[in-house]
Amino acid sequence: MKIDIVTIFPEIARGPLGTSIVGRAAEAGLVEIGYHDLRDYTTDRHRQVDDLPYGGGPGMVMKPEPFFAAVADLRREGSKVVMMTPQGLPFRQAVAEDLSRESHLVFLCGHYEGVDHRVVEALVDLELSIGDYVLTNGTLAAAVVVDAVARLLPGVLGDGRSAEVESFSGEGRHLEGPHYTRPAEYAGRRVPEVLLSGNHAAIAAWREQEGLARTRRNRPDLLGGVEV
Ligand code: JBK
């Protein structure tokens, strides 16, 4: 898969995506990530990417021209153009799974109050939000989505990990139970005896029960209860 990220802060994406599992996947050629400075697509002397909002109001709006130039440069047959914005479709594991089947993703990252809406209308296939909070920029949000997508690509996780049961994937969507490693007693707290028992059926049942209890407490929406 090819992924292009268009932003005025490429370093914000390069940090997390150049490190650890995704960084190694990129080095191994399992995913090719391009980092593009939106200012490189400006044509004026000041490399200006923003301007005052029509209709007034606080802050600045990102100009359309650099985004149009970037997409003209990067888009090819079959590309999917994604804009990170708090107004977008909520990002979930199912969306990550859909995106992992694409051949080319282009992420457009906004800043300031927003992006000229003609960019969304003319260029964007999918507006995505990673959550209901205010960030300083969409680049962090794009890095989150790219991380979640890249780890699903063939070969990126070891066989062991890819087969693992994960919260939010597959059937029975509830949270995972707690995890422990050695020592068996630490800071006056013992690892639950069932995990030391070697009884795999009992361990599975305990994990299921603990996961469900956490889900009821923290995420009742996942059980079809209160919508958050
Ligand atoms: C937020 O994807 N988002 O959720 C997002 C993108 C850009 C700015 C934001 O404040 N929440």
The radius of gyration of the chain from alpha carbons, rounded to an integer in Å, stands at 21
The candidate with the shortest Cα–Cα distance to 142, out of 35, 20, 21, is: 35
Domains defined for the chain, CATH in brackets: 2-150 (3.40.1280.10), 165-223 (1.10.1270.20)
Closest residue by Cα to residue 6 from 51, 60, 72: 72
17-20's contacts with Cβ under 8 Å and 24+ in sequence apart are 17/143, 17/146, 17/147, 17/150
The pLDDT assigned to 159 comes to 73
DSSP assignments along 1-58, one per residue: -EEEEEES-HHHHHHHHTSHHHHHHHHTTSSEEEEEEGGGG--STT---EEPPTT--S
User: Which atom of ligand 1 lies nearest, measured to the CA of 130?
Assistant: 4
pLDDT at 105 over 70: yes
> In this structure, which residue's CA is closest to atom 7 in ligand 1?
138
Nearest to 11 by CA among 39, 31, 30: 39
pLDDT value for 215 = 97
Confidence at residue 161, expressed as pLDDT on a 0 to 100 scale: 67
> How much is the average pLDDT of 8-21?
97
Give me ligand 1 centre to Cα 43, in Å. 27
Nearby residues of 205 by Cβ (< 8 Å), 6 or more positions away = none
Please compute the mean of the pLDDT values over residues 64-84 and round it to a whole number.
98
Cis preceding linkage at 90, omega within 30: no
Question: What integer pLDDT is reported at residue 158 of this predicted model?
Answer: 84
Instruction: Identify the residue whose C-alpha is closest to ligand 1 atom 2.
Output: 129
Q: Which residue has a Cα nearest atom 1 of ligand 1?
A: 86
- Best residue among 87, 107, 130 to mutate for probing ligand 1's pocket (most ligand atoms within 8 Å of CB) is 130
In single-letter form, the type of residue at position 124 comes to V
CA 88 to chain centre: 13
CA of 39: how far to CAs of 5, 63, 102, in Å? Answer: 13, 11, 27
Confidence of residue 172 (pLDDT cuts 50, 70, 90): low
> What is the number of the ligand 1 atom nearest to the C-alpha of 133?
11
Pocket test for ligand 1, best of 129, 133, 136 (most atoms within 8 A of CB): 129
pLDDT of 168 reads 80
Of 116-120, 135-139, 158-162, minimum mean pLDDT range: 158-162
For ligand 1, whether the C-beta of 130 sits within 6 Å is yes
In this prediction, residue 5 carries a pLDDT of: 98
pTM, entire model = 0.94
- Percentage of the residues of the chain whose pLDDT score is greater than 90: 89
Q: pLDDT per residue over 36-51, tens digit each?
A: 999 999 999 999 999 9
Are residues 9 and 137 in contact, defined by beta-carbon separation less than 8 angstroms?
Answer: yes
